[in-house]
Amino acid sequence: MDAFHYRGNSLLVEDVALATIAERFGTPTYVYSRHAIVDAFAEFRRAASGRNVLVCYALKANSNLAVIDLLAREGAGFDIVSGGELARVLAAGGDPSRVVFSGVGKSAAEMRVALEAGVRCFNVESESELLRLDGVAGAIGRRAPVSLRVNPDVDAGTHPYISTGLRENKFGIAHDAALAAYRTAARLPNVDVQGIDCHIGSQITAIDPFLAALDKLLELVDALHAEGIALKHLDLGGGLGIRYADEQPPSREALFAAIFERIDRHPRGASYELVFEFGRSIVGNAGVLLTRVEYLKRNAERGFAIVDAAMNDLMRPALYDAYHGVLPVQPRDERSAQSWDVVGPVCESGDWLARGRRLALAEGDLLAIASAGAYGMAMASNYNTRPRAAEVIVDGGDVHLVREREPVESLFALERRLPR
């Protein structure tokens, strides 16, 4: 969160006071730092220099066109999970030949569009999907580049909802079924086997689960090699964690160094291109959700700071019990601090953003909900007919509006009343 810092009694993003942004654009507003996004990606790029590596940005973390555009300019590839995300990459000027298409339920229509666009690889998650992809590719006279997503049965040590590499999860092809699936793939006429991939979860704060997954992939790579199925790339997915509270995730550099060390010990390791799909660790700490305190109220049990952002804007607390720091934009004297639950106006008890925080607050104060750059706006909804927040990107002293606040009428513009 280095891009967000206090100067005097004012919280800034880069060189701009968040109070100024609230005045200009209103609240709630997502505020991102251009430099924080670019620096996070550049750290991966630096760590990979001299290596055959493609770092993709998993755009489900934050799919604003401006974010995609920024990362495309920095040389990122993209990991997509829907036809809609492909449309975003194309609209933002991203290169489809650097796109990997993940996801457990690709429709035939999505496959067709992705084949026509010329995506780099389909990360296939079942034999049924392989067969469907072969059919769709054949029908339009193409060969589909594929990698099979293997479920390595590795515990990522993260929240159950964002753990994806365990036997009980819906993702990937079981490790012990993968060989058979590759044999199927190898005999299909319209698919071209290129790689292997896994993605074991999100917000992973240790290196070991990545290495355990890599070892499982390499075992399979060797078994495939012995059968004459040669792969070109290994895709290790994403999932590197960030600091929300007191987590100590490995640095991007340390993670890559450990992975490269393991690769270099493998007899054919150097021959494989490595692909990664990072979302959270590129944008998570590059954004805050700026919100204003509407009311303070206290009952016998607790104090509530009711703010103008809610679970529809930032779903992570309600969904995962997630922790987000709360930063006062213009801090008051600490001596008046009390314990507050920061909650939204939505009619659900699950509508909270933070609980039991010691804050010195008054009605009208601005708060920044920290580490909200990933899985914030991307998961926002219109529940309670609440327009989604505006989004801005700060670049030094400049502020760019990259998504307007939704007009209320747009929320029901596609709806129709019944005939009389």
Ligand X SMILES: *Cc1c(COP(=O)(O)O)cnc(C)c1O
Residues involved in catalysis: 347
Please identify which residue in 33, 37, 48, 60 interacts with ligand X, judged by CB under 6 A. 60
Element containing residue 117 per DSSP (H, E): helix 108-117
Q: Least CB distance from residue 280 to ligand X, whole Å?
A: 4
Taking CB under 6 A as the binding criterion, the range among 44-52, 56-64, 68-76, 317-325 that sits at the site for ligand X is: 56-64
Phi-psi group of 377: left, alpha or beta (phi > 0 → left; psi -120 to 50 → alpha; rest → beta) = alpha
Instruction: Assess 79 for contact with ligand X (CB under 6 A).
Output: yes
CB closer to ligand X out of 60 and 386? 60
What DSSP string describes 249-306? PPPHHHHHHHHHHHHHHSTTGGGSEEEEEESHHHHGGGEEEEEEEEEEEE-SS-EEEE
Question: CB atoms < 10 A from the CB of 257, how many?
Answer: 14
Helix (H) or strand (E) holding 57: strand 53-58
Site mask for ligand X (CB under 6 A), range 108-147, x = bound: ----------------------------------------
Contact with ligand X (CB under 6 A) among 28, 238, 250, 387: 238
- Burial degree of 232 (CB within 10 A; 0-12, 13-18, 19+): middle
- Residue from 152, 195, 209, 237 touching ligand X (CB under 6 A): that is 237
Judged by beta carbon, residue 86 or residue 342, the one nearer ligand X is 86
CB of 283: closest distance to ligand X in angstroms?
Answer: 8
Q: Report d(CA 22, CA 2) in Å as an integer.
A: 20
Alpha-carbon distance of 138 to 144, in angstroms, equals 9
DSSP letter, residue 107: -
**Sole binder of ligand X in the list 33, 147, 202, 371 (CB under 6 A):** 202
CB atoms within 10 A of CB 415: 6
| Token pair listed for 117 | 């666009």
Terminal CA-to-CA distance of the chain, rounded, Å? 56
Placement of tokens 């805050």 in the chain? 288
Q: Minimal CA–CA distance to 30: which of 324, 249, 345, 363?
A: 324
Closest distance of CB 380 from ligand X, Å: 16
The burial class, CB within 10 Å (0-12 / 13-18 / 19+), for 77 is buried
Count the site residues for ligand X by CB under 6 A. Answer: 18
325 to 384, contacts with ligand X by CB under 6 A? 374
Among 58, 154, 207, 306, binds ligand X (CB under 6 A): 58
- Segment contacting ligand X by CB under 6 A, of 54-62, 130-138, 223-231, 384-392: 54-62
d(CA 159, CA 173): 21
What is the per-residue binding string for ligand X in 160-199, x denoting contact by CB under 6 A? ---------------------------------------x
* 9-17, 57-65, 219-227, 351-359 -> range binding ligand X (CB under 6 A): 57-65
**Structure tokens given for 367:** 């708060």
Tell which residue, 318, 363, 356, has the closest CA to residue 340. 356
Closest contact distance (angstroms) between CB of 194 and ligand X is 16
Joined tokens for residue 357: 């925080």
Residues 272-301 contacting ligand X, CB under 6 A: 277-281
Per CB under 6 A, 41 contacts ligand X: no
Contacts of 261 (CB under 8 A, 6+ apart): none
CA–chain centroid gap for 132, Å, is 27
Min CB(361)–ligand X separation in Å: 32
Query: Least distance in Å: CB of 103 to ligand X?
Result: 7
Alpha helices (H) in 266-338, listed in sequence order: 280-283, 316-320
The SS3 call for residue 263 is helix
Q: Nearest-CA neighbor of 4 among 394, 357, 314?
A: 394
**Does the protein bind ligand X through residue 239 (CB under 6 A)?**
yes
Nearer to ligand X, 279 or 376 (CB): 279
Closest approach, Cβ 220 to ligand X, in A, equals 18
Q: Which of residues 86-105 bind ligand X (CB under 6 A)?
A: 102
Span of 109-117, 231-239, 250-258, 316-324 interacting with ligand X by CB under 6 A: 231-239
Q: By C-beta, is 280 or 292 nearer to ligand X?
A: 280
| Contact between 152 and ligand X per CB under 6 A | no
Which among 32-40, 55-63, 214-222, 244-252 is the span making contact with ligand X, rule CB under 6 A?
55-63
- Smallest gap from Cβ 196 to ligand X, in A, equals 13
The residues binding ligand X (CB under 6 A) are 58, 60-61, 79, 81, 102, 199, 202, 237-240, 277-281, 374
